[in-house]
Amino acid sequence: MDTGVLTTSISDESLADAFAYLSERGVDAVELACGGFVGDDHLPQDEYLDDPDAQAELQDRLEEHGLYISALATHNNPLHPVDDRSRGADRELRGAIRLASQLGVDTVTTFSGLPAGGPNDEVPNWITAPWPGEHRDAHEYQWDVAEAYWTEMAGFADDHDVNVAIEMHPNMLVYEPRGLLRLRELTDDRIGANFDPSHLLWQGISVTEAIRLLGNRDAIHHVHAKDTKVYDHNAREKGVLDTAPYTEEAERSWLFRSIGYGHGENFWKDVVSALRLVDYDGALSIEHEDSLTSAREGLGKGIDVLDRAIFESTPDDAFWAE
């Protein structure tokens, strides 16, 4: 396994400076954003797609700093009920898949998207309970929309030999592991998880059990390293479905935290071990969204934790068991 970084948190630096900084910190891989909510500061599609010279320059820069691309990222809502929004997200996703193929990158990370609750609505609707029955009906409508879209998109990804790694995220149709498996079963194996523990932790989902659930079905295409801390004094009063702004930290039931500040080093060693048990051998891509510290300090501390947690070697033969 390798230490990686999603470079959006240091997008104020040029691509060259970002690569130099991460290489100096011992990072192995970068995840580069190319559209959607995550922006495209380091990899604008209109500059790199179908441009062999720009792509060759990027590869040279990666080689110079001993880095590789673990995934391209374009997180958006291709199931949005407003046509302009869904068409734009779809265009970005298809472009990211094509660009990944041209760069020799095998994974694009994204969201499942979220439809409205019915064909005449204009606002996405995150449904978290089956009653009253109209909500259950709306949820099934959403799954019909998702199946049609993602079946076609899985075929497009397969044509380009690229996996689509969906991040399980609140306010998206797929926000937990069984929903991810449902979408995968409705489509094909090109659809899998961008496994991000942070969104599972505040839901009370066991991260290691979720890794086994998905990993034993070969459904983990990419992994984010991102922590969350639940603040029980607030959660006991209002639960964890928290609409307080992320910047009102003292009022929140939970916050995204730097690696090691939500859960200790032993937790991340358990995560690494669980990933090894299901034969995941890719990058753990750090996504910094901790509002209590700077990006560089948060990344630095996270890199230090993962350096101690990640196994660099492959296992030896179990000589003691012979």
The strand pair at 227-230 and 254-257 is best described as antiparallel
pTM score: 0.96
Amino acid identity of 98? R
Domains and CATH numbers, the chain: 2-321 (3.20.20.150)
Report residue 97 CA to chain centroid gap. Answer: 15
Q: Evaluate the CA torsion angle 280, 282, 287, 288 in order and state its sign.
A: positive
Phi-psi region of 175 (alpha: psi -120 to 50; beta: other; left: phi over 0): alpha
**CA-CA distance, 272 to 275, in Å (whole number)?**
5
Report residue 85 CA to chain centroid gap. Answer: 21
Tens place of pLDDT per residue across the chain (322 aa): 999 999 999 999 999 999 999 999 999 999 999 999 999 999 999 999 999 999 999 999 999 999 999 999 999 999 999 999 999 999 999 999 999 999 999 999 999 999 999 999 999 999 999 999 999 999 999 999 999 999 999 999 999 999 999 999 999 999 999 999 999 999 999 999 999 999 999 999 999 999 999 999 999 999 999 999 999 999 999 999 999 999 999 999 999 999 999 999 999 999 999 999 999 999 999 999 999 999 999 999 999 999 999 998 888 888 888 7
Report residue 193 CA to chain centroid gap. Answer: 8
**CA-CA distance, 1 to 92, in Å (whole number)?**
29
Predicted confidence at residue 289, as pLDDT, reads: 97
Predicted confidence at residue 250, as pLDDT, reads: 97
CA distances from 294 to 110, 177, 302, 308 (A): 25, 31, 12, 22
The strand pair at 254-257 and 220-225 is best described as unpaired
Predicted confidence at residue 320, as pLDDT, reads: 81
